[in-house]
Amino acid sequence: MKKLLAILFVTALIYSTSPIINTAEAQVQEGDFKAGVGLVFGSGVGFGFGSLDNDLGIRADGYYAFTPEIRGGGDFTFYFPKSEGNTDVTVWELNLNAHYLFLDEDGLIVYALGGLNITGFSFEYSDTFMGSTTTVSDSDSEFGLNLGGGVEYALDFADLFAEAKLGGLGGNANQFVLGAGLRFSF
C-alpha cells in the first residue's frame, strides 16, 4: 500500500510540474457534482481482532457543492476480508461528510472534512472437534465521527485526490485512514 501511495504522489507531482500536460483549472461552483473511486488503507478498526483487523479496501464516493466553499456527500468503503486459521473477518464503513474548501485555485483544492461514520463488521469462526463442526458468527455496527482533510488536483480527465482522516472517533472502530483515487465531474 505504501508503494501505491508513493506512486500516486509521484504521479500527482509529475502532473503538477510538467509544462507539457494541460490540466483543467476550473474552480468549484455551486451545484457541481463529483463521483469517485479509490483505494483506502486503514490502521485497523480496533474491534480486537489483532492481525485480522482489516486494513486495505476500495471506496466509492460522491460530493455535491452547496456553495463554492462547502460541499457535502458520502463514501462507502469495503475492506477486503481477512482470514486466519478458522476465523474470517469482514469490515465496511459508510461516511457522511462535509468538506470546507480552504484553497481552490490553479486546479488545486485543499479541504477539511468532518462528519459521521457508521462502521460494520462481521466475523465467522468454524472448528471441527470429533467429527462435529461448530460455527459461530456475529456482526455489529457502531457510530462515530470523522475529522480530517484532503487535496484534489485537476487533471484533464478527472481529479486526483488524497485524504487523511481519523474515522469512527468515539467508539471501538476508531482508526487512521489514508485514501487516494480519482473523482469525475458530472
**96-120 confidence digits (pLDDT tens):** 999 999 999 999 999 999 999 999 9
Q: How far apart are CA 90 and CA 117, in angstroms?
A: 17
> Where do the H-state alpha helices sit in the chain?
2-17
Higher model confidence: residue 1 or residue 100?
100
**121-160 confidence digits (pLDDT tens):** 888 888 877 777 788 888 888 999 999 999 999 999 999 9
- Domains of the chain by range and CATH? 2-15+31-185 (2.40.160.20)
**24-52 confidence digits (pLDDT tens):** 456 888 889 999 999 999 887 655 556 65
Only one residue has cell 468515539, namely 170
In 3-state terms, what secondary structure has residue 88? Answer: strand
Record the pTM. 0.77
